[in-house]
Amino acid sequence: MSGEDVIARIKEYEGVRTDKEVARLLGGTSKNITGWRRSGVPWERLERYARERELSLEWLVHGRGPREVGLMLAEDAGDYHVHEIDTDLFMAVTNEVQAMLKEAGLPADDEKAAYLVAYVYNDLVKSGAKAPDRKKIEGLMRLIA
**79, part of any domain:** no
Q: Which residues lie across from 55 on neighbouring strands?
A: 68
**77, part of any domain:** no
Report whether pLDDT(134) > 70. Answer: yes
Report whether pLDDT(138) > 50. Answer: yes
**82, part of any domain:** no
Q: Mean pLDDT, to the nearest integer, of 31-48?
A: 88
Confidence of residue 72 (pLDDT cuts 50, 70, 90): very low
d(CA 2, CA 109): 26
Domain ends where: 25, 44, 72? 72
Domain that holds residue 23: 3-72
The domain tally of the chain equals: 2
**123, part of any domain:** yes
**27, part of any domain:** yes
Contacts of 81 (CB under 8 A, 6+ apart): none
Q: Are residues 9 and 65 in the same domain?
A: yes
Amino acid letter, residue 63: G
Q: What is the pTM of this model?
A: 0.49
d(CA 131, CA 129): 6
Q: Are residues 14 and 57 in the same domain?
A: yes
